[in-house]
Amino acid sequence: MITIGKPAPDFTLQDPEGNTHTLADLKGQHTLIYFYPKDDTPGCTAQACSLRDNLEELRELGVEVYGVSGDSVESHKKFAEKYNLPFPVLSDPERTVIDAYGAYGERSMYGRKFMGIIRSAVLIGPDLTIIAHWPKIQPLKTVPAVRAWLAEHQH
């Protein structure tokens, strides 16, 4: 379970370039980690491109962005190159981190229910605690949600 004010679950994941990213790397900055179901699908592409197009503004607000899905490093590499994603997309094929962040569970599409990755996002503070959580976020609501949260909480 993700709880506001609690330490963010630790992780060690690889990006398409073979670099390893850990929770400890995020210390001292605000970090948005968003979890998405699948590379190169319409909603996930819209979300990634929205984050890409707003990354400069997010960074000016002091936020770094990471995407996480269960897709392979190879799939992420194609996805990141195809859409010029300027932030790391991390591969979690065993869903260890996805589970730890509560981003796996029952989903519904076209009326049928199935288990899968739930599109969600967390904002981690400079002290590595969870400061905001959007458990079921729509692809194009991610950037506005982060923007609104920062406007409300950074005085």
Which DSSP letter does residue 71 get?
Answer: S
Contact predicate 20/111, CB 8 Å: no
DSSP 116-133: EEPPEEEEE-TTSBEEEE
Contact predicate 69/89, CB 8 Å: yes
Q: What contacts 42, CB < 8 A, 6 or more positions away? A: none
State the catalytic residues.
Answer: 44
